[in-house]
Structure formats: structure tokens, C-alpha cells
Structure 1
Amino acid sequence: MTETVRQTFTPTPEEVARFHEQGYLGPFKVYEEDEMRRLWRRERLRLMNRDNAVYDEGDAQAGNTNIANYDRHLDSEFLADHICHPRIVDRVTAVLGPDVLCWRSEFFPKYPGDEGTDWHQADTFAFASGKPQIVWPADQKEFGGTITVWTAFTPATEETGCLQFIPGTHRTMFYDETRGMHYQPDKINASAKGGVNRGFYGYDYRELQKDPDWRPPEERAVSMVMRPGEAVLFWSTMMHASKPHSAMDQEMRLGFAGRYVPTCVEVYPDTEDVDEYGGRISLKDYGTVLVAGTDSYTHNRKVTATTRGHVFPVR
């Protein structure tokens, strides 16, 4: 009998060390560009059907609220396999250890003419809903936030609104998420922030600044230009933003983010609903997904298959 050798995509020790220093790793290839374009042409039509989505579109007040884009990996076979993709999971486990959950996924569309996303950091993700959405164990206080893997489904360029990072900022939180922000979707951003027209889905992230006079060191920013099928892995606590989509003759820029934590982290503790971005979703059908290793903890809701019965492939 021929033994199957598992292909691994674990980064080198040098790459891991660079990640810890800078706060991000990549871009790296998950799919060939032609493959990504073909997959997205197919999947964008399938995703229009929300019959098996875990969040009711009406409850989410979908419209233009970002909350309607959450967790489609829980009903889409393609996205279920994507969050478990070896090219992603092997890199995540190199940072977080062998036992890892995906606790959320999100689409990030940016259409021609859309503003950029404001500079921000996320530790507990309490900034919009007012309640911590992830809580690390007390004995691991040096950690926080989540590992985000942001995959470009369409071209992410300087003109279409690529991500921007400020390397090395992941170790210090410049914002206080407990202050909360005021949802003002109709507020017009009359002045450019740092010379770039930016916003934050109806919020002003500057409300959370610990020092109201502090300004992000944008002169250190790097742009993450990515072709379709490429991804970048980064700490959510690193200062990140995105540019406006200024190319009126180009297609929508679409990114898909999977968010990962070790199994020891509590996800949505004592929470039954998520209320943010002008919408509310019930967590009654929600569950974390084990993407690698084992989960010996009992503090998180768990699912092993999508709502359509597709089993998540654990690494």
C-alpha cells in the first residue's frame, strides 16, 4: 500500500520571526489567479442564495451593513474548504499552535468610488457591539486579538483599495475598545483623514483613541497589493486600513477574511446576539469551526459541518 505524504505549507523559522516582528506575513498564493477568477464567478451566484445561511437577512438588516457579510463559511462548501485550506491553516498554526478555531469570516467589498477604511486595531472586537467577542485566558495576557487571513478574490491594487499596514504596531493598543463608538451612518466625512478619504462603516474610529491628539504614523505604512488568489496573514492588533477605490473603470475589490484563535480562547462569551453596524444577528445557529488539531475545551459553541451537510476538513 502506498502511503500518502501530506504536503505542508509551514513557513520557515525566518518567516515566522519576521511575522512576530512586523505583525504580518505575505502576500502568499492560495489559488492560481485563473482558478480564483473561475471559482468566484461560480460562487458569487451560489452565495446569492441565503436559504441555508445561519443569519437571517432581515434580522441582519442586510442592506449596506457589514454584519450581513459574516460567516458564510457556515453554509458555503467553497468557503468552508477555504477557511480550512492547508496553505492558510499551516501558516496560522505556525503562529498560534496546533489547535486552532476559525471563529468568524467576513466579506470586504469595495466598489468604485468607495472611501477607504480608517486606521484601526482590534483586540476583543468590543468596539462596535460593546461586549468582548473574543477573550484570551488570563494567563496569556501578552496575547490578544485574532489572526486574520485576508484573501483577494479580485485584484487589490493601490487604485482599487488595497489594505495598508503599519508594521510593528501589533504590540501596543492605541485605542480603548471599551469606550464604544456612536453609529452614525449618515454622517458625511467632510475632511480627508491624513490626506485620504476614509471611514469605518458608519463609525468614527478616532472616538476610541486613548490620546485624542495622537495620529497614526502613516509615513510608515505599506500597501498590500495582491492578485486574485493571494492572501496575507496578520494580527488584528496591528494598525491597518485600506485605500479608497478610486479606479472608476475597474471592478469591485473583494476581500474575504477568515479569523482564527487558539481553542483556549473564549468566543462570544455570555452572548446570544451580536448588535453592530446598525444590524443585529442571533447566534442560535452559530458555531466555531475546528480547522486544526483538537479542541478539548467546552466553552465554545462548535459545528463540524455546514448547514448543507459539508464536513469541515480538519488539518
Structure 2
Amino acid sequence: MSENTPTRDVVLSQAQSDKYWEDGFLFPLTIFSEKEAAETRAELERIEREWLDADLPLPLNTYKRVNAHLVMPLAARVATDPRVLDVVEGVLGPDIMVWSAEFFIKEPHTAHTVGMHQDLTYWGMGETPDQVTVWIALSPATVESGCMDFVRGSHKNPILPHKDTYSDTNLLSRGQEVAVDVAEKDKTHIELAPGQMSLHHGLTIHGSGPNQSGDRRIGLAIRYLNPNAKQLVAERDYAMLARGQDGQSNFVHVEPPTKLFSADALTLYDRVRSDQSAALAEGAIGSVPLYASS
């Protein structure tokens, strides 16, 4: 991020932390100024233009959508920004690791959605409370543009049955959806201005609708863990230590990339992707690719 002063510093109060644990989410939290958000969006879109036709091993969209922090310094920089970590610390404590970072982009006037689901269903970490997802808006996230919808208190459920739709319009790897009906009245619309963010628990039922606006809906979702989390399905898993110490050694530590799509970063990316697939693929249809290019 730039050195511009954010709109306001945010450290979670006890009341905010309590509300997060009661509701399973918290929003809006203003982390970056609109100018910083615009600069970050411009940097991302410059990468898109310059690397769209580059000779990369995988489609550019795959790198944006899966573990972007391993190959894109921009994603790692935002994920380790002290202002973001200050908020995360209010949920996870002082020891914080980045598990993944994903750009969720819906182009204007498109049908792409995210089905209502619980994140932890596919992470291979059981029902651990030692995680939180930060979602940072780089463009307006409104009902019209397909903002996220959360179901208040749904994180108090266990992992519920899910069905894999493999829908072409669902941005998730398996088109996964929770196999229960979610009434519209039970959804809280998470509208965010550029530079604002939300937090949500990995058991919170959530999804998002299509982008019917005239602008791209761009968000960066960052998954954080504390060292008590543990991978239970895959043989190995990886995390980037962002703050504090890791006294558990449940994850292989990775370093932030020093430049875009370097050879070393791409090699690491492939190793992480391969090892994490064991958790993501559990119960999936074998012939269906798990890492979509859109």
C-alpha cells in the first residue's frame, strides 16, 4: 500500500470482538483511504494488462484466485499490512499467519455468483475457531454489484452438508453450496466502500449474487490462522507468518514473493497447490478441475 494516511486507524474494541464472536462476522471496518484503495486497484489492473498474455504455467486468473500472496507481492503486502493485522489480532491473538489470499472479481453485468457455503467445509482443518477471513473492497461492494451476504449466528452450527454443483457461474472451485435453504430474510448484505473490510468466521454461511452494476466488483479475501490451527487432511500445508511467533509448527512457513511471478515463487506455488489439493479434493469428482481459471 502507499504511505497515505488511512481514513482512520482500527483496532478492535472488546465490544467489536464480542460482536464478531456472537454474529460470526463484523463490518464495516475502514482500513485504507479511498485513495489507497484506488491505487491498489490500479496496481492490480496494471498487472492484469501486462501479464494477461504472458507465458505463465497457469492462466493469470488462477494465480489471482488461488494463493495470490505466493506470487504477487501486491497481495502479500496487503495481507501483511499492520493495519489489517491489528484488526485480525483482535480475533486471533498476537500470532498470525496468512494461509491464503484470493482476488474475487466479478465483471460488470455478469452472472457470476458465489453459492451460500461454509469455508471450513473444504479447508481440511475441521471446525477450528483459530481462523478468520478478511474481505477488503477495492471497488464498491453493493447489493447491485454482488456484495457478500452473511447469515447471522450461523457459525454456531457445525459443518453442514454441502452439495457440489460445478456450476459455470459459481466462482467457487466446486460450485459448492450448503445443502439447506437460506431465506432471503436471513441474509445480511455486507455493503462496503473501497478501503473498507469485513471479517467472517469459517463456519459462517455466506455467498454473493451477480454483479448487475456498471463497474467491476473487486475484493481481496485473505484467510488468516493462528498457530493452533492444524491441517487434518492434507499431508502438508503452508502459511506465511505475518506477526508474532509460531510455536506449533503445524504449517510449513513460506516467505512473501520479492517480484511478480518469479521462478522461485512459481515453483513454490505449484508445490503448495499440489499439497493443498488433497484437502480441497476430498470427496470431489475426480475428473473436474478444482482450480478454475475464472
TM-score by length of 1: 0.69
Tell me, in whole angstroms, the C-alpha distance in 1 between the residues paired with 2:50 and 2:251.
28
Report SS of the residue matched to 2:250: coil
**Cα deviations across residues 45-78 of structure 1 (Å, max 9, x unaligned)?**
1355669xxxx954x4x376x6752222223333
Q: Which has the higher helix share?
A: 2
> Which residue type is aligned with residue 205 of structure 1?
Q
CA contact (8 A) 1:98 1:293 kept: yes
Q: CA RMSD in A?
A: 3.2
**Cα deviations across residues 161-210 of structure 1 (Å, max 9, x unaligned)?**
11111111111036236xx736354xxxxxxxxxxxx745474534x52x
TM-score by length of 2: 0.74
Q: Which runs of 4+ in 1 moved over 6 A?
A: none
Q: CA deviation at 1:145?
A: 7.2
Q: What 5-or-longer segments of structure 1 have no aligned partner?
A: 1-6, 127-131, 186-197, 273-282, 310-315
Matched, 1:119 2:112: no
Cα 1:271/1:45, change in 2 over 3 Å: farther
Give 1:54-65 correspondences, 5 Å limit. Answer: 57-58=56-57, 60=58, 62=59
Tell me, in whole angstroms, the C-alpha distance in 2 between the residues paired with 1:145 and 1:218.
29
Name the residue aligned to 1:92.
88
**Identity within the alignment, %:** 24
Name the residue aligned to 1:229.
195
Tell me, in whole angstroms, the C-alpha distance in 2 between the residues paired with 1:49 and 1:302.
30
Give 1:1-315 correspondences, 5 Å limit. Answer: 9-46=10-47, 57-58=56-57, 60=58, 62=59, 69-115=65-111, 116-126=113-123, 132=124, 135=125, 143-144=128-129, 146-173=131-158, 175-176=160-161, 181=164, 183=166, 185=168, 199-201=170-172, 203-206=174-177, 209=179, 214-247=180-213, 250-267=214-231, 270-271=234-235, 287-308=238-259
Q: CA deviation at 1:21?
A: 0.8
Please say which of residues 251-260 and 167-176 is displaced more in the overlay: 167-176
Larger Rg: 1 or 2?
1
CA contact (8 A) 1:103 1:267 kept: no
Report SS of the residue matched to 2:122: coil
